[in-house]
Amino acid sequence: MLSVITLCASLPGLGRWLVREDPVRQSDAIAVLTGNFPARAIEAADLYRDGYANEIWLTHPGPRTKSAGLNVAQIPTEDVFNYDVLRSMGVPAGAIHILDTPIVNTADELNVIDSTLKETGEASVIVVTNKAHTRRVHSIWTKYHSGEGEMIVHAVADDQFSPSSWWKSQTDKLQVAHELLGMLNLWAGLPVHRTPRPSGSLTSSDAPVQILLPTLAK
């Protein structure tokens, strides 16, 4: 009985521990991590319009292959959709850059963001993700990129994750489970990790992408 009470008392603490945001401030760029489309791109567009940075970086998933008779390689990847979201919200094409090195997971994304900071000589970047993901993002950066540029971790403002009652929502429970597994993998030294093929780092998205999306507003 005591162990059950202790567990229940720790659940809100676990949820709050996963949320590790930094105060948002002026930076050289805003980077959108993949996932939770289109909320992260919308948040990045809002930050851009509020003047927090002059450019937005999108990460690029690696190439995909045919599956079950469907040529998924012909389906646009998330960076393409994020590009269209940003353009629909008024972000100029010249301010959007797709980081060319293909990524598989969060560690890959932070690697290419760090490499781009070094390549461009920029000093700071706002990384946009979800609330429950902020702890892992911050921990990966601290472990592998500490002192190599300032990263400001910022969560989507209207993210519905509830740190104090996450176990009441199936979506929140899945997020917590995913993040805990990710943290265990990080603490073990990232043994579960695939390395994408190397490529160039920074590409400007000056040409419009032919995906039609409705005009978005927050």
What tokens does 131 get? 């609330």
* Cβ neighbour number for residue 166 with a 10 Å cutoff: 22
Number of helices and strands (H, E) in the chain?
A: 6, 6
DSSP 7-71: HHHHHHHHHHHH---------SEEEE-SSSTTHHHHHHHHHHHTTS-S-EEEEEEPP---BTTB-
Residue 48 CA to residue 203 CA, distance in Å, equals 19
Kindly give the confidence (pLDDT) of every residue in the chain, 218 residues in length, as a single tens digit, with 9 standing for 90 and above. 445 456 556 889 999 999 999 999 999 999 999 999 999 999 999 999 999 999 999 999 876 555 555 555 567 889 999 999 999 999 999 999 999 899 999 999 999 999 999 999 999 999 999 999 999 999 999 999 988 899 999 999 999 999 999 999 999 999 999 999 999 999 999 998 655 443 434 444 433 333 334 334 33
> What local confidence, expressed as pLDDT, does residue 8 receive?
53
The model's pTM: 0.84
Per the CB < 8 A criterion, the answer to whether 155 and 42 are in contact is no
3-state secondary structure of 155: strand
The pair of three-digit structure tokens given for residue 158, joined into one six-digit string = 């209207």
Q: What is the pLDDT of residue 62?
A: 73
Instruction: Say what the pLDDT of residue 204 is.
Output: 44
19-204 adopts what CATH topology? Rossmann fold (3.40.50)
- Gap between the Cα atoms of 48 and 128, Å rounded: 12
Q: Is 175 exposed, middle or buried (0-12, 13-18, 19+ CB in 10 A)?
A: buried
Could you state, in order of their start, the residue ranges of all structural domains in the chain?
Answer: 19-204
d(C-alpha 202, C-alpha 183), whole Å: 29
State the pLDDT at residue 22. Answer: 98
**Do residues 27 and 117 make contact, with C-beta atoms less than 8 angstroms apart?**
no
